[in-house]
Amino acid sequence: MGNKQTIFTPEQLDAYQDCTFFTRKEILRLFYRYRDLAPQLVPLDYTDKPDVTLPYELIGSMPELKDNPFRQRIAEVFSASGDGNMTLDDFLDMFSVLSEMAPRDLKAYYAFKIYDFNNDDYICKSDLEKTVNKLTRNELTPEEVSLVCEKVIYEADADNDGKLSLEDFQHMIIRAPDFL
Amino acid sequence: IFHGFYAEEKLVGNLASMSASERIKAIQKMPETMRKKREISNRVLKEITRKSRRRGAGLSCCTGCLLRAAVFYRRFENVLSESFGRLRLWHRTLKIIGAEFGTSVLSYFLFLKWLITLNIFSFLINFSFITVPQFVAAAPNNLPFTGLELFTGAGYFQETVLYYGFYTNATISKAENGPSYNMQLAYIFSIGGYFAVCFLILLFSMARSFYRNFVNPLVHPGTASKLLCTWDFSVTNEKAVRLKQRNLSTQIKEELAGVNREVLSFSVRERVVRMVIHLVSWAASLGTAVAACAGIYFLSINNLKLFVEGRKNDLATEAAMLVLPVVTSLLNTFIPFFYSWLGRLEGFQTPGQQIYVTIVRNIILRISIVGILCCYWLNVVAASDSQCWETLVGQDTYRLVLFDFVFCLLGCFFGEFLPRIIGTTCSVNRGLPEFDIGRNILDLIYAQTLTWVSVLFSPLLPGIQIMLFSIVFYVKKVSLRMNCQPPRRFWRTAQMTTLFILLLFFPSFLGVLSVIGVTVWRLKPSEECGPFRGLPSMFAAVSEWIRVLESYAVSHWVVWVYHNLITSELFFFIISTPVVFLIYFYWKIIEGRKTMARLLHMLIIN
């Protein structure tokens, strides 16, 4: 309404606003952040929906993600092709879910997908072991890691099949108010 | 998770039947990629236009107009929210603090910001309804201004709008037979209205906090939730991340080792010894609190004697007035150290227990100090033969608030700046100090309690407190980034925030409400100053007004409300009995659901 920007059509901006938790200004700011990663690849005109994908290395070097131990999994989960290369849509999606305005069950759903390393819709013991190693930076011995994973599965597995399904995980998250 | 074509059709149908804002919220919450969401959104719009077209061609242009109007309205809403978003206070600073130190430290700053907004609200109400009319009818101020007033609050400030004593009891009117402004009613109603709104705000925040953070855990949250749920995804500083990883691994090791520790049960003799140790420490802490209160009480009585007898305005008497706030702040600073030392000595089973017990002891100390001061003000000062006792109380609170602020800054200097210098130059093993979240939030609760007590006696003190809190915000922020490291222990942010809001509501706010209640209903206002001079009690202004209203036919409902609802005991009994029943009923429902969940869990496993 009065902002003379030529990057998106008004309908595109409205569609972005409807699908993410961001306002117009925030979407434009995110677009500029996306573009700053590779100014030569990203055009300034998105009205004709160009098909531009940025490689994972650029995304992973952003200051918000650089030190996050799960940055590779986050990029893989949110990228449409599953290999960490992200289009602008994926980029906006990712930040929308990671923002503080996203509801907890949405975050829990994506957290489940991030922790599910082998993409089989269950968090099995090997997924948990990889998670623990990433969270503690390999400071625990393999026996301790294994013990911890067994405890986690014992406590959270409601239907006793040896792995955590999405419902088990969401049930656990609901009981932990500190999850962000 | 949406598999299948028919599930999608059903979803589109559901979305099409919702209102526009609900639909947008539902689409935003869907865990799908953007492309899928756009697809679904387009299909929903097509479905809506198809439905409206079916209802009749005559209506289709109307729906087209309505759709366009809805889009226009949404764009207007966005512009409004964007311009208000710029007014969000300290948004960027808070994000940076959260990124470098985690959400536990951030909760302190959010609490501070929330208290500042409560004070801004109080200041606006008092300023617009009480102070501005007073400026119109102000008497000239003939006292000299020396710099000492800023510390003692007396002297020149005595005859300004800062204190209760200056306000007139007249009905102010600018022109003859023009609209008049009854200062007495304005005073009571604005302060009463502010406390009522504060009560509702606190009640709702507490309820929301409880609801979000205290959902009944069926099982004691063990390693599982600690592991997968306490990773603070908002931390982006490399050092902080590495520290968090090290902490998590230490905690996991402790937990694994602790499993073996819990298995040992204590022998009877050891249990008795532990109980005796706990009793002795509680006795010591309560004893110190009682001693502190007694000391403050006798000191203040002496002060009053000095003031009433002396009545000289020289430097010695003014300096003597500062002794009470300095002593109070000193006690508030050093006794908590004693409590933490006691806590460490006692040897609790979990560090969480130690934190809770220390917080409870600290809050008992501070609330009893405020309590004893209120007792002194209401019993001794109000009955003394000083000229204007409310102004005296206002001045006391001004000095207490000011010196609490000064000691807070000093505490920041000695507690964070010096240890950092020592930690980096002399003994490098100690490392940087940590930000003591619990202690700082309790300081805030104490300062806010004093401010609330002072609203009646010094209507502009919340405005001063806003300034002091803002300075504290900046100083703490700078000190945090310069001197502190991210917290090492796991601090259950959500539960602790709920606890602190509960502490703010229950001992602090309700205590202040009872003090204000006693003052308004029971105490005799001073004869020579203030808006209620000459009346038997402050509430008498309202009863007189009701008597005046009885003669007007239009306002009979107000009189009826007053006689039958506000002043009748039967009404409160009728209200509180169903409330108690409701609470008991809900509690039983929760218990029943817990049992049901346990049974279902058993069924699923087997």
What number is the ipTM of this complex?
A: 0.76
Nearest-5° angle of CA B389, CA B466, CA B475? 125
> In B260-283, which positions are buried (b, 16+ CB within 10 angstroms) versus exposed (e)?
eeeeeeeeeeeeeeeeeeeeebbe
- Provide the pLDDT confidence category of residue B489 given band limits of 50, 70 and 90: confident
Identify which of B29, B85, B219 has the shortest CB distance to residue A106.
B29
Mark yes or no for CB contact A152/B75 under 8 Å. no
Please give the single-letter amino acid code of residue B251. Q
Residues 101-140 of B with CB under 8 A from A: 103
Q: Which of B97-106, B376-385, B458-467 has the highest mean pLDDT?
A: B458-467
Residues 6-65 of A with CB under 8 A from B: 14-21, 23-25, 63-65
Instruction: Kindly identify which residue of chain A lies nearest to residue B25, measuring between CA atoms.
Output: A18
DSSP-derived secondary structure letter, B509: I
Distance CA A78, CA B63 (A): 37
Q: Which of A24-38, B65-79, B289-303, B310-324 has the highest mean pLDDT?
A: B289-303
Range of weakest confidence among B261-265, B501-505, B595-599: B261-265
The CATH number of the domain covering residues in A104-179: 1.10.238.10
What share of chain B in percent tops pLDDT 70?
84
Distance CA B463, CA B398 (A): 12
Please state the pTM of the whole predicted model. Answer: 0.82
**Contact predicate B325/B400, CB 8 Å:** yes
Smallest Cα distance from A28 to chain B, Å: 13
Query: Of B86 and A18, which is predicted with more confidence?
Result: A18
Smallest Cα distance from A58 to chain B, Å: 17
**Contact predicate B386/B392, CB 8 Å:** yes
For residue B505, the number of C-alpha atoms closer than 13 Å in the C-beta half-sphere is 19
Which sequence spans correspond to the domains of chain A?
A: 10-98, 104-179
Smallest Cα distance from A23 to chain B, Å: 7
Chain A contact set for B75 (CB, 8 A): 1, 14
Q: Which CATH number fits domain A10-98: 1.10.238.10, 3.40.1830.10, 1.10.3720.10, 1.10.645.10?
A: 1.10.238.10
Residues 75-134 of A with CB under 8 A from B: 80, 89-90, 92-93, 96, 98, 100, 103, 105-106, 109-111, 115, 131-132
DSSP-derived secondary structure letter, B157: G
Distance CA B226, CA B217 (A): 14
Instruction: Kindly identify which residue of chain A lies nearest to residue B491, measuring between CA atoms.
Output: A178
- B586: how many CB neighbours lie within 10 A of its CB? 10
B250-259 long-range contacts, Cβ below 8 Å, gap at least 24? B251/B226, B251/B490, B252/A132, B252/A136, B252/A140, B252/A144, B252/A148, B252/B223, B252/B226, B252/B227, B253/A140, B253/A144, B255/B222, B255/B223, B255/B226, B256/A144, B256/A147, B256/A148
> In B543-552, which positions are buried (b, 16+ CB within 10 angstroms) versus exposed (e)?
eebbeeeeee
Quote the distance between the C-alpha of residue B55 and its chain's center. Answer: 53
Going residue by residue through chain A, which has 180 residues, state the pLDDT in tens, using 9 for 90 and above: 445 677 888 888 888 888 888 888 888 888 888 888 888 888 888 787 778 888 888 888 888 888 788 888 888 888 888 787 888 888 888 888 888 788 888 888 888 888 888 888 888 888 888 888 887 777 778 887 888 788 778 777 777 788 888 888 887 777 666 666
B463-468 long-range contacts, Cβ below 8 Å, gap at least 24? B463/B119, B463/B123, B463/B126, B463/B127, B464/B398, B464/B401, B465/B119, B465/B401, B466/B116, B466/B119, B466/B120, B466/B123, B468/B401, B468/B402, B468/B405
Task: Judge if A10-98 and A104-179 fold alike in CATH terms.
Answer: yes
Q: Which of A50-54, A119-123, B254-258, B405-409 has the highest mean pLDDT?
A: B405-409
Strand partners for B182: B171
- Provide the pLDDT confidence category of residue B547 given band limits of 50, 70 and 90: confident
Distance CA B235, CA B97 (A): 9
pLDDT at B218: 45
